[in-house]
Amino acid sequence: MPGTPGPAAPTLGTTRPGAAPPLLPTPLPRSGRAGGELVAGFPAAVRPVAGSTVTASSVSRDGSRVQVALDARTDRPPARVLRGLRLRLGRYGMAEEVTPAVAGTQAAAFRRGRSSVVVTLRPAGRGTAYSVHGVLHAGDG
């Protein structure tokens, strides 16, 4: 059926519902942005994989909803970066959903309750450039 999300793909490291840590810290982070580093209060659930260089990050809070964005680069290949993000998001109870990607890129989408995260990756020289965008709700854990 058009417009219907695809079936959930298996997620590595998935945690049982109710056993997953909160997606957002308490107190909720303040809005902000940073170039070349993570903005203060950036949620652990969506932090970059180890060995990454952050080029930009932001957090925008609206009540109990927090929008996050991250652009980063690493020397690791796209498949390894995506595996690392899948593992982390799975530990936070986020289930992977099938999502399309633009030619020459990879993409993955994750959901937990009303919260969602989309990851896009593309080869960049000998490594990977990637973005993480999400809307996290305080009530989802």
Residue 141, pLDDT score:
56
Q: pLDDT per residue over 66-112, tens digit each?
A: 999 999 999 999 999 999 999 999 999 999 998 999 999 999 999 99
Q: Let me know if residue 4 belongs to a domain.
A: no
Structural domain contains residue 6: no
Q: By the 8 A CB rule, do 30 and 91 touch?
A: no
Check pLDDT > 90 for residue 61.
Answer: yes
Residues 6+ apart with CB under 8 A from 111: 94, 95, 97, 117
Residue 48's domain comprises 14-137
- What's residue 16's pLDDT? 52
For the chain, how many structural domains are there in total? Answer: 1
Backbone conformation region of residue 51, classed left if phi is above 0, alpha if psi is from -120 to 50, else beta: left
Residue 3 lies in a domain: no
Residue 21 belongs to some domain of the structure: yes
Question: What pLDDT is recorded for position 113?
Answer: 94
Q: Is residue 23 part of a domain?
A: yes
Structural domain includes residue 43: yes
Q: Is the peptide bond before 27 cis (omega within 30 degrees of 0)?
A: yes
User: Is 133 domain-assigned?
Assistant: yes
- Does 50 score more than 70 pLDDT? yes
**Could you tell me the pLDDT band of residue 25, with boundaries at 50, 70 and 90?**
confident
